[in-house]
Amino acid sequence: MTAIAMRLTNLGDSGEAQKSLSAGNIHIDAGRYQAFVGGSPVMLTYQEFELLWLLVAGRDRILSSDELIEQLWHNPGADARSRLGVVICRLRAKLSKSWPYRIETIRSRGYGLTVPAGLATEGKP
């Protein structure tokens, strides 16, 4: 099952599937499969969208490379770590101009989403 399929079938406290996430001025709408920064759409590939969802959903912790690889590909090949690095790099590039957040690389651990202090509590799901 893909990350989006699991996300849409996992029920939240209200009994409804979680179809959107927000953090600061980022809004991710799984129903429309679209991400917005400051109200403007950001064009993302499937894997970039999935990675952004995972990072925003797990923004309060470090996500291991293995965890991200499993969520994104389920049957990773030998090149999974380099593929993850490419997707991270592309996502950073697409969001760098309008995004006050950082995708941090934690060597030998994984990745984490840093939300600036002034935006940390806005729109938290």
Contact 82, 119 (CB under 8 A): no
The whole-number average pLDDT for the span 58-83 is 89
Residue 121's pLDDT is: 43
Give all domains of the chain, ordered by start, each with its CATH number: 3-119 (1.10.10.10)
What does the pLDDT look like over 25-46, one tens digit per residue?
789 999 999 999 888 899 999 9
pTM score over 0.85: no
